Amino acid sequence: MAEHAAAAHATAHGDAEASHDFVIVEHGVHHVDAPRKQIWHVFIVLSVITALEFVIALTPGLRRNEMHPNGILPNTLVVGIFLGLTVLKAFYIVGYFMHLKMERVNMIYTVLLPLLFILYLITLLIIEGTGSFR
Amino acid sequence: MSSEATVLKNSVWNGGRVPLGVSFGKMMMWFFLLSDAFTFSTLLVSYGYFRITATPGWVSPEKVFEGIPWIEGVKAPLVFVGFMTFVLIFSSVTMVLAVEAGHHMNKKRVQKFMLLTIIGGLIFLGSQALEWTGLIFKEGMTMNHNPFLAVMPNGNPEHLHATILFGQLFFTITGFHGFHVFSGVCINTLMFIKTKRGDFQRLGHYEMIEKVGLYWHFVDLVWVFVFTLFYLI
């Protein structure tokens, strides 16, 4: 009985440490703040990427499609560049603004892995989409 | 009885540890955003589906989005939507600054940046209202009419059908996003009031601002995708 009591006491003590950790987490100050400098850095990166997208979209004669048959770059490449830049922007927003990059690895995978289903949906509908209406 | 409880308490799966390293509320906000991401992705993927299907007959975004409200007769493609994008990104920045101020328990600063975030959201909503008004009343684009049929390959009726979908997809998706911005502005206003009343100061932390911030950044994130898919590609 005494042993049990001692063990219980010990765990209670051990728990106090653990729950202390939990309290800090609850209050959301367990992580180091993103310094203001970094926030503005990310803002500049996002702005520059957006500006670059505008330049690509609005430069006449850059993109080849049915409106501009003499464009330099093929349409697929331009679309690929746009999508790549978008994913890059998404990385900066989710990683830094939403702070996911600084969270625990478990949390990162919990959020990111389910997004594979979206890739699955895209793949399926690209395959289906090119086939219908023809 | 108590010893059993003791043994359980020592196991990893019995609490006392935080496997994800975030509080319950924050984790649930992430899960909600994940489900919202699925909703938006189904909308955007179905847009992509029709877009791929009707590629030769699709409208050119430079032709659709070249007007600026109040300025007649000016052809400035994508300038107005560029302004909207910038406003939303900037309001995301002020949101992060509010969260950062919350970490330092700086009530005045949180208030200031929450207010700026709300104003950014309102400017975005107003701009979207103007854009929609222009498209609906000036151009005549509605859910079942598309005036921008620039290229019509072979008069193929299926392609015609798919291009008419442009209005439906555009109004549904930007409308759904706009509704998210609207709810975000409402929630931000609520948090602004709670901050002003000193609720979070009394509570001892500003985690609510962080959770609201997650939602607001998500709205920005969705706009990044909507912007690329509708206005650029």
Q: What ipTM did this prediction achieve?
A: 0.85
pLDDT tier for residue A21 given thresholds of 50, 70 and 90: very low
Question: Is residue B22 a contact partner of residue A30, using CB atoms and an 8 Å limit?
Answer: no
Judged by CB atoms closer than 8 Å, whether chains meet at B26 and A28 is answered as yes
Q: Does residue A84 share a domain with residue A72? A: yes
Among A17-26, A54-63, A72-81, B121-130, whose mean pLDDT is lowest?
A17-26
Q: Does residue A15 share a domain with residue A55? A: no
Concatenated DSSP letters for A6-61? HHHHHHHHHHHHHHHHHHHHHTT-SSPPPPHHHHHHHHHHHHHHHHHHHHHHHSTT
Q: For chain B, how many structural domains are there in total?
A: 1
pLDDT of residue A26 exceeding 70: no
Domain of residue B107 covers 21-232
Comparing B181 with A31, the larger pLDDT belongs to B181
Q: For chain A, how many structural domains are there in total?
A: 3
Judged by CB atoms closer than 8 Å, whether chains meet at B228 and A53 is answered as yes
Q: Does A59 touch chain B (CB under 8 A)?
A: no
Question: Is residue B79 a contact partner of residue A80, using CB atoms and an 8 Å limit?
Answer: no
Q: Does residue A82 share a domain with residue A37? A: yes
Asked, for residue B11, whether it belongs to a domain, the answer is no
Question: Looking at the partner chain, which of B62, B97, B224 has a beta carbon nearest the beta carbon of A93?
Answer: B224
Question: Looking at the partner chain, which of B21, B34, B232 has a beta carbon nearest the beta carbon of A111?
Answer: B34
Q: Does A37 touch chain B (CB under 8 A)?
A: no
- The CATH number linked to B139 is 1.20.120.80
| Chain B interface disruption, residue of A9, A24, A29, most B CBs within 10 A | A29
Nearest to B89 by CA among B60, B123, B61, B62: B123
Asked, for residue B2, whether it belongs to a domain, the answer is no
Q: Does A27 touch chain B (CB under 8 A)?
A: yes
Q: Which residues contact A114 (CB under 8 A, 6 or more apart)?
A: B34, B38
Q: What is the pLDDT of residue A2?
A: 42
Domain of residue A75 covers 32-102
Q: Does residue A69 share a domain with residue A23? A: no
Question: Looking at the partner chain, which of B21, B23, B60 has a beta carbon nearest the beta carbon of A104?
Answer: B21
Q: What is the pLDDT of residue B34?
A: 96
**Interfacial A residues in 66-85 facing B (CB < 8 Å):** 66-67, 79, 82-83, 85
Asked, for residue B9, whether it belongs to a domain, the answer is no
Helices within chain B (DSSP H only): 2-10, 24-53, 61-64, 79-103, 107-133, 157-197, 199-203, 207-226
Q: What is the pLDDT of residue A74?
A: 87
Q: What is the pLDDT of residue B9?
A: 58
Among A28-32, A106-110, B50-54, B74-78, whose mean pLDDT is lowest?
A28-32
Average pLDDT for runs of 10 along chain B of length 233: 52 70 91 96 90 71 75 77 94 95 94 97 96 88 75 52 79 96 97 96 94 96 94 87
Asked, for residue B7, whether it belongs to a domain, the answer is no
- With contacts defined as CB-CB under 8 Å, which chain B residues touch A125? 45-46, 48-49
Q: Does A113 touch chain B (CB under 8 A)?
A: no
Average pLDDT value for residue range A76-85: 93
Q: Does residue A92 share a domain with residue A37? A: yes
